[in-house]
Amino acid sequence: MRTAIYPGSFDPVTLGHLDIIRRASVMFDRLIVAVMHNQNKQPMFSVEERMEFLRCTTSQLPNVEIASFDGLLADYARQQGACAVVKGLRAVSDFEYEFQMALANRKLNPELDTVFLMTSAEYMYLSSSVVKDIAVHGGSVAGFVPDGIMQDIVRRTRKEG
Ligand code: PNS
């Protein structure tokens, strides 16, 4: 049983994330999509909301589990018996930061490798920040986030503003 973890803020999940989830789910027996804390970001959606968006989005993928963890990714991977971390790369600009995290994670947990999947070309520009910015300013996020969660994101974002 090969378990991988796809960690992130997922604030909220986008079609770019879903593309990585789908592709990683066929590479591993079990894929845990883990909502984790990024100390450089102040999330708009609660952990429970982000998990619910992910559950709704991945319900058709039987080997995908949604979880959250508040500590170190390297510890969580050990706890779950995961052999790999999955990360998506959109551009060369993502690489330096991701490379640093991959090395730090392997230092903390020598059994843990990071597998990078290149984004599909149509999602290169897409990020959760772009989605929030569009939604907060009243634009349409159709084609940016999965259809099933679009209305909830818009409703929640407008309430916030
Ligand atoms: O979607 P993001 O915000 O780019 O994801 C970053 C995330 C949450 C994966 C990263 O901040 C993380 O791994 N946080 C957990 C704490 C941790 O292990 N930090 C050390 C990384 S070397």
pLDDT digits (tens, 9 = 90+) for 83-109: 999 999 998 888 999 999 999 999 999
Q: Does the structure show a pLDDT above 80 at 160?
A: no
Kindly state if the Cβ of 108 falls inside 6 Å of ligand 1. no
Q: Does the structure show a pLDDT above 90 at 120?
A: yes
Higher pLDDT, 73 or 161: 73
pLDDT of residue 39: 95
The predicted-structure confidence for 141-156, as pLDDT tens digits, reads as follows 999 999 999 999 999 8
Give the phi and the psi of residue 32 in degrees, each rounded to 5: -100, 120
Ligand 1 atom with least separation from CA of 41: 3
pLDDT averaged over the chain? 95
Residue ranges covered by each domain of the chain? 3-120
Cα(73) to centroid of ligand 1, in Å?
Answer: 7
Biggest CA pair distance of the chain: 46
Kindly state if the Cβ of 57 falls inside 6 Å of ligand 1. no
Query: With bands split at pLDDT 50, 70 and 90, how would you rate the model's confidence at 159?
Result: low
CATH number of 3-120: 3.40.50.620
Nearest CA to ligand 1 atom 21: 101
Q: Which residues of 38-68 are buried (b: 16+ CB within 10 A; e: fewer)?
A: eeeeebbbebebbbbbbeebbeebeebbbeb
